[in-house]
A and B are shown apart, each in its own frame.
Chain A
Amino acid sequence: MNWIGALVQGILLGGHYALIACGLAFMYSVMRIINLAHGTLVVVASFAFWVLAANWGINPFLAAIGVVPAMALLGWGFQRGVLDPSSRFGLLVPILATFGFAILVNNLLFLQFGASPHSLAPYIGTLSYSSWTIGPDLYVGKLAVLIFVVAVALFGGLSLFLAKTQLGRAIRATSEDPATVGLVGISARKINAIAAAIALGTVGIAGMFLVMRDGVTPYSGMAVLLFAFEAAEIGGADSLWRTLLGGMILGVAQSFGALLSPQGFLIAGHSVFLLIVIGRVVLSKPSLGQIKARLAQWV
C-alpha cells in the first residue's frame, strides 16, 4: 500500500473511530465523566446485533431500529444505576464504578460467548468486502465509506440537535453549569439521564459497525475504550466536530504506522496521542501576550 492509499484508508478509519468515540465524548462534555465502561457497552451492542442476526437471521440494519433504542434505554438505566449514585461520592468514584462494571460485564460476556471472535460479516452480503476502485492501487471499501458517511451524518445531526432544539440547549446549559440550570427549572439529573441515553444510542450504532467491520470478542471493549478515548482526546474532548477530526488523525497515524512495521499501527496511534498531549502542555505555557499583560500589572 502506498502513502496516498494509507492516507485515504486512515481517514476512513478515522470515521470509524469517531463513531466509536462519539458517545464517550458526548457523555464527557455533558457530565464530565469518562465512562470506562464505554468500550464494553459498544461490545454489548455488537453482541446484541450478532445474536439477532445469527439466531433469527435479522438484518443488522433492520435490527438497529430495535437495538439503538434499547441501548438508549440501557443508557438511562446506567446513568441512574451507576453514574448518578457513584458521582455523589466525588469525581473519582465514577471512574472506579465504571471500571468495575466493565470488568464484570466483559467476563459475563465471556461466560456467554467464549473467547472466539464473533463477526457480522457473513450476514451483510457483499458489503463486508466489496470496494470501489478509484485509481491504480487505490481501493476504498464500501463498508468503510458507509461508516464514514454515517459518522459525519451522526455528528452533524447531533450538532444540529444541540444547537437548534430546546432539549439541546438544556443539555448545553447543564454541561456549562449543572447547579445554575436548576434555578431556571431544568433538572440536571434528568438532563444527564437523557444525555446518557443519547450517548448510548450512538454506542448502539458504533457497536453495529464494529461487529460488521472488525468482529468482537468479549474483551474487545478494552481496546475500543482506548481508541475512543484517544480519538476524543486528540480532538480536544469538548467539541463534537473536533472528535471527528481526532478520529481521523488517529486513523491516519495508525495507517501510516502500519506501513513501517506490524506493531507500528498501535505504536503510532498511542504516540500521536501522547504527542498531542505534550503539544498542549507546551502550548499552555504563558504566551508572549500573557507575559506582557502580567508585566503591565506590575508597572
Chain B
Amino acid sequence: MGMMPGSVTQTEALRIERWTRTAVIAIGAIVVALVVLAFGPMFLGADAIGSLTRLFIYVILAVMWNALAGYGGMVSIGQQGFFGLGAYFVIRLAGFGLNPYVAILVGAVGVGLLSVPISAIILKLTEGRFAIATWVVAELAVLLVMFDPIINGETGTSLSQLMAYSPSVHRALTYWSALGFMVALLAVMFALLRSPIGASIQAIRDDTDAAEAVGVKVLNTKRILYVLAAFGGAVAGALWVASTITFQPNSFFSVQWSAFMIFMALVGGIGTFEGAIVGAIIFFLVENFLGSTGVWYLIFLGATALAFALFLPRGIWGTVERRFGINLLPVGYRVRLEALRASLSRRP
C-alpha cells in the first residue's frame, strides 16, 4: 500500500456477499411452502401424508450425509449405525414408559452423545479407511443391540406404544415431527456452515495440513460436524420407526441406507446445500416409480451412482450452480469485483 497513489483499500474495492437477491426470494418461497406443508394433515390424504413424511426423512439423511462428505470431506458408509441406534433408542425409551415422540428427541441426543467417544477413534482415519471403519462401527452396533431382549434378536419388535393413537392422529403427529425436525436440522446445519466453523470445516476438506497451519483445530472442528450428523441420522431413524412402527435390526442397520444417502447426495450435488435436497426429491421420485421392481431398482441406483461419480461428480445442482451462478441457500462467501473494477477505472 502507499506505493501507488491510486491504490484502493480492500473495503472500497471488494464487496463480500453473503446473501443474494435470489437467495432472499428463495428463502421466502421456502418459508411459504413450509407454512403450507405445516397445515398438510388438514387437507392431504393418508397416502400423501405418509409419502411426505418419508420425503422429509430422506431430506434429513441427504443433508446430513452431504454435510459430512461434501463439506467435511468425510465419506461415511456407516451412517446406518446412527440411523439404527436412533430407532433402537426410541424403542428402548418407550419401553421405559417415555412418550414415543418425546423419545425421538431424547434418544437422538443420546446417540449424539454416544458418537463423541466414537469420533475420538474414527476421526483418526481418513478417506477410504474412515469410510469402512464407520461401517465396522455400525456392524458392531447392530450385534450389540440384538443383545437387548426387548429386540427379540433378528426377528425385531414393534413400537407398540404408538397403537395408543388412532391411525390418523399417529400419521399427523409423525408427519409434524418429521417436518419440524427437518426444518430445525436444516436451519442448524445452514447456520453452522455459514459460521466461521463452516469455513474451517471446508478448509479442512480442501487441505487438512494447510488448515492446521493457519490455526484450525482440525479434530475438534470435524467432530462438531460428525456429532451433528450422528444426531441427524438418529433423528431420521427414530422418525422412520415412528412411521413404520416395526423395527427389524438388520433392515434398520443395513448398509443400503448408506447407498441411498450416497445416491441422494451424489446425484443432487455433493458439497452444495441445495443439491442434497434436490437429490432427496429425485430419490423419492425414483423410489415411487421403481421401488416395486425390487432388484432392478437397486441396479438402477448403483449404476446411476457409478455414472455420476465417473461423469458428473458435481451432481445436478452442482452443475447448474456452476453454469448459471445460482445460489439459493448461500453458505459461502462471494467476492464481488464490480467495485474494484469501477475504482480502477476511476484511477487517473
On A, residues with C-beta under 8 Å from B are 28, 32-36, 82, 85-86, 89, 91-97, 99-108, 110-111, 222, 225-226, 229-230, 233, 237, 263, 266-267, 270-271, 273-274, 277-278, 280-281, 284
Contacts and interface: CB of A to CB of B under 8 A. Distances in A.
B161 to A, nearest CB: 28
Given A34-B129, A270-B143, A277 B309 contact: no
A226 B128 CA distance: 12
B234 to A, nearest CB: 20
Given A97-B306, A108-B299, A36 B131 contact: yes
B135 A101 contact: no
Interface of B: 69, 73, 75, 77, 120-122, 124-125, 127-129, 131-133, 135-137, 139-140, 143-144, 146-147, 255, 258-259, 262, 266, 270, 295, 298-299, 301-310, 313
Given A28-B128, A93-B313, A99-B305, A104 B143 contact: no
B200 to A, nearest CB: 18
Given A267-B140, A274-B140, A99 B259 contact: yes
A230 to B, nearest CB: 7
B259 A103 contact: yes
Given A93-B313, A95-B131, A107-B302, A274 B143 contact: no
Chain A: interface secondary structure? helix
A225 B135 CA distance: 11
A235 to B, nearest CB: 13
B140 A96 contact: no
Contacts of A226: 132, 135-136, 139
B262 A99 contact: yes
B125 A277 contact: yes
Contacts, number: 127
B291 to A, nearest CB: 14
A107 B305 CA distance: 14
A36 B133 contact: no
Contacts of A99: 77, 258-259, 262, 305
Contacts of B125: 277
A111 to B, nearest CB: 6
A266 B77 contact: no
Contacts of A86: 309-310, 313
19 contacts: A36-B131, A86-B313, A92-B270, A94-B128, A96-B262, A96-B313, A99-B259, A100-B266, A101-B302, A104-B299, A104-B306, A226-B132, A237-B129, A263-B143, A270-B139, A271-B140, A274-B137, A277-B122, A277-B124
A252 to B, nearest CB: 18
B310 A85 contact: yes
Nearest to A37: B306
B136 A96 contact: no
A23 to B, nearest CB: 14
B295 A103 contact: no
A82 B306 contact: yes
Contacts of B131: 34, 36, 95
Contacts of B304: 100
Contacts of A108: 299
B143 A266 contact: yes
B139 A274 contact: no
B146 A225 contact: no
Nearest to B133: A277
A100 B259 CA distance: 8
B298 A263 contact: no
A274 B136 contact: yes
Given A95-B128, A104-B299, A273 B136 contact: yes
Contacts of A274: 121, 136-137, 140
A36 B132 contact: yes
B302 A102 contact: yes
A92 B70 CA distance: 9
A195 to B, nearest CB: 16
